[in-house]
Structure 1
Amino acid sequence: MYFSISAQSLGGHFSQSVSDFVAYLEKENQGIALEEREYFFNQYGDAYSTQQVIKDIDSNTAKLKKNEPKFYSIIVSPSKRELKQLQNSSKALKRYTRELMKDYVTAFNREINGNPVTINDIKYYAKIEHTRHFKGTDKQVMENQPFASKILKLKQDIRKIERGTLEGSIKKHKRTIAKLEHSAPHRQNGKRIVQGMRKDGNQSHIHIIVSRKDASNSVSLSPGSKYKASDVMIDGKLVKRGFDRDSFFSKAEQTFDKTFAYKRNYAESYVAKKDFIKNPKFYFSTLLGLPTHERALAFKILGKAGVPLASIPTNQVQLALKTIRILKRGIDIAIKSGSIGI
């Protein structure tokens, strides 16, 4: 499971309205039948129009300055292994979204009218998407790039030969292009992976737009707060503040496991991510200490994420810092891309 929380982009050419982001999330609905479309939903309903979403979010911004985000974007990306656990991706992910947003509100160290924040105190809209496309920062695209550059140069040379501004054999160039296409390290359905290509398989994920202000449009609730969770004296009054992302991510993972009876492997857990970041040696020690079948599954998960398995230590003696440094880069990339779900 991969989570990200980001504030509305402001400044430059970015709009103060949520309309551009809503339009972006509507891209999958273009050109498909009405009964097959995914609609915005929240804790109250299943089919909100884009106009309703824009109106509700844009009008819920009382006293916010121009340079302050009006909404936050939460992206929840289950791993392929997690998605296999779901019988119906859309229905199950909607159910999960409603549960994880309950975890979201409990992560606030705030009070509204003297009471903890509840699910009815927030204004949010979510949408399920089922496709993803390769980005320029994806490992497959980056490692294919040297081949792409050579292919582009050869195609440019072919056009020059056809125009008579360059001498050379078009057939020879085309044979070289074919060899490069075949030699590229990452392919999908026989084709070289390039930026913009649609990814195969179940790519279902969740986009959530959550208003910065509470449902009454009077209290600011920022998941981007630099304060984790604390009480502070302001004008002689004790005030609660902060949002605990660590608590939110942990609870959201536990909610998924409980909701869908999912048996999570250590290698794909949130606690593993924290172990890896804080103490890589402890992380690998824990991997080696797993029961045989759990360790085998952990290595399989890491292998599918592109981590070099040949470099993973197989015993405590091999847990040298040099080995860990070699592995850290590969696992860092896998974590950031969400490919191992942690």
Structure 2
Amino acid sequence: MRTTEHPDAQHGRGAASAKVPTRFGLASRETDGDWRDYVAGLGVDDAPPVKLRTHVTEEHPKTILSFNSSPDIPFDRSINAYRGCEHGCVYCYARPTHAYHDLSPGLDFETQLFAKPGAAELLRKTLNKRGYKPAPIALGTNTDPYQPIEKRYEITREILEVCLDARHPVTITTKSDRVLRDADILEEMAQANLVAVAISVTTLDAKLSSKLEPRCATPAKRIAALGKLIEHGVPVHCSVSPIIPAITDEFMEGIIEAAAGVGVKSANWIPLRLPHEVAPLFREWLAVHYPDRASKVMRIVQSIRGGKDNDPDFFTRMKPTGVWADMFRARFRIACKRSGVGHGKTAPRFELDCSKFRPPELGGQMRLL
């Protein structure tokens, strides 16, 4: 496979550039040519760009729970402890949200991050409001709650501590084995039927993963994390996502078999989604890493999306159509049947318990009993 260099490509980052979206009328950016000339004058011609560092800005919102009425997703409320995600998954559908900060959905999304250190206390106050009615809170719906900066901030852990105190159900979606750091809390919540964890696995090839999702846990670590959570009694789910035609679909059966091998009983698959700026970023990624099959990949993507790069409509955005989609669906169904893994209507239902809810203690003090 031939790799094409991109002038702004950064080792260890998913996106190849920091292009700013034009749909908001923002000014575009490009590498300063004078700087390149200056570097060349120092005798280091063709020197790589300066390594990008991760920068975190702390923000203090007035609310922390986000509510939605989308008819095709299984939750109505969520918490995102972070904006942007250092995992750098090039296919991440949340990238366009960075444009609202006048930042690039490309490299800025994975290097210019925002953290909400007061999230847990805000949640305590929200759950204490008169008339609040509990329903599972989804963590990891936009950006990963266990991305690398969680090691320093531990905001997700603090949120889980509040939910445990309140006996409030939570669902977690992540691509990181860092979720195991909270196994003590998750085990206690699981005993009360208050938590379920989904881990996404895109490929079994660590080298491919390092290009697609450069700062995620390796696929092997994610599979192992599923098994370890099961040992702690935590209900788990494996999401084979996204399926990228001619890039990751070959691993579908292997992922299901590996997940079944550690005891997973529930799985699903999600096709690649390319909303707004994600489409050109993904095309750019293909040109850098897979120029030999870039056109083939996009032809298949468009074939399952009604001839477009993306389908934003409710329901159909999660249900691709066409011959290729039917083939993926059939392969997934057969793989699950062979491995004894439930999917769709045959998957175990995680009906979390909302009946135990009680307003949490204020002031950060958890109950002793």
Question: TM-score, structure 2 length as denominator?
Answer: 0.21
Higher helix share goes to which structure? 1
Larger radius of gyration: 1
With normalisation by structure 1, the TM-score equals 0.22
